[in-house]
Amino acid sequence: VVLDNLSTGHRWAIDEKAVFVEGNLGNEKDLESIFTNHKIDAVMHFAANSLVGESVTDPLKYYQNNVAATLTLLQTMMKHNVKKFIFSSTAATYGIPSVDIITEDTATNPINPYGRSKLMIEQILADFASAYDMEYVVLRYFNAAGAYETAEIGECHDPETHLIPIILQHLLGERENISVFGSDYDTEDGTCIRDYIHVTDLA
Ligand SMILES: NC(=O)c1ccc[n+]([C@@H]2O[C@H](COP(=O)([O-])OP(=O)(O)OC[C@H]3O[C@@H](n4cnc5c(N)ncnc54)[C@H](O)[C@@H]3O)[C@@H](O)[C@H]2O)c1
Stretch 173-202: mean pLDDT, rounded? 93
Q: Whose CA is nearest to atom 23 of ligand 1?
A: 47
Residue 37's identity, in one-letter code, is: N
146-196, CATH topology level:
UDP-galactose 4-epimerase; domain 1 (3.90.25)
Ligand 1 test: best mutation among 50, 73, 121, 140, most atoms within 8 Å of CB? 50
CA-CA-CA-CA torsion for 10, 163, 94, 4, nearest 10 degrees? 0
The closest-lying atom of ligand 1 relative to the alpha carbon of residue 26 is: 31
DSSP one-letter code for 13 = G
The enclosing H or E element of 2 equals strand 2-4
pLDDT in tens, 60-85: 999 999 999 999 999 999 999 999 99
Alpha carbon distance 119, 108 (integer Å) = 8
Alpha helices in 133-190 (DSSP H): 163-171
Give the model's pLDDT for residue 123: 98
Q: Where are the domains of the chain?
A: 2-142, 146-196
Residue 183: CB atoms within 10 A of its CB come to: 10
In 10 A of CB 169, how many CB atoms? 13
Ligand 1 atom nearest to 91, measured from its CA: 6
Which residues is 136 bridged to in the sheet? Answer: 85
Asked whether the CA dihedral 24, 86, 42, 9 is positive or negative, the reply is positive
- Between CA 19 and CA 23 the distance in angstroms is 12
pLDDT in tens, 7-21: 999 999 999 999 999
Catalytic positions are 114
120 pLDDT tier (thresholds 50, 70, 90): very high
**Nearest-5° angle of CA 73, CA 74, CA 80?**
90
50 has pLDDT over 90: yes
Q: What is the pLDDT of residue 190?
A: 95
Percent of the chain with pLDDT over 70: 100
Nearest C-alpha neighbor of 92 from the set 30, 49, 38, 57: 49
- 2-142 in CATH: which number? 3.40.50.720
Pocket of ligand 1, beta carbon within 6 A: 3-9, 24-26, 46-48, 50, 65, 69, 88, 90, 141, 143-144
How far is 160 from 199, CA to CA, in rounded Å? 17
